[in-house]
Amino acid sequence: MTIETIIKQYDFNLKYAIALVQDLSDDQMTTVPSNGLENHPAFTLGHLISGSAGLAEDLGAKFEMPDKWADLFLRKGPGDPRKPDSDKSKYPSKHLLLKELDDQHNKVKKLLSHIDNNDLNKKFTWRFSSYMPTLMDLIVFMCINHEAMHLGQLAAWRRAMGLTSGLATL
């Protein structure tokens, strides 16, 4: 797999994220339709922002998110007992979330486009090193798998809300 292929998938994930929320009202962005679907759209977009910010840091840039967003959106993965904050007033608007997601994607893509191919096979220590031990593995996971998992949650959230397919709009 090449960096160019990863960027194409990463770009697709961004377009899909936008499609999944484009028709949502501000109130819907923080609606929890049932147990098991606590990751509402505002949280999901914010969590993807935190994932991209973390990947940018792994690629040598500074971890950057707007004030207090890391506390709201950053999770340590499976086993992290925290759920999205129930105080809806803490969540940024859909517009701000989508702008920051786009900004973070562009930052990561710029870093990826300048990466030394020799670095891609270097060992990288992280929580899934036993499955994905290299920097390339981390990049593939964060740009493709991690985003797709959470976008799948958002697609399930849409179904629970009785909304049409976001994927069908692409």
Kindly report, residue by residue over 133-144, the tens digit of the pLDDT.
999 999 999 999
Residue 43 has which token pair? 């949280």
Per-residue pLDDT at 101: 98
- Judging by beta carbons within 10 Å of its beta carbon (0-12, 13-18, 19+), is residue 79 exposed, middle or buried? exposed
Report the percentage of the chain scoring pLDDT > 90. Answer: 89
Per-residue pLDDT at 28: 97
CA–CA separation, 50 vs 58, rounded Å? 12
Residue 42 has which token pair? 């505002």
Q: For 3-169, which CATH class?
A: mainly alpha
DSSP class of 163? P
CA–CA separation, 137 vs 120, rounded Å? 8
Per-residue pLDDT at 81: 75
Confidence band, pLDDT 50/70/90 cuts, at residue 36: confident
Count of CB atoms situated within 10 Å of the CB of 157: 25
Whole-prediction pTM: 0.95
Q: How far is CA 4 from the centre of its chain?
A: 19
Using the structure block, give the residue that is written with the tokens 């935190």: 50
User: Would you say 29 and 91 are in contact if contact means Cβ atoms under 8 Å apart?
Assistant: yes
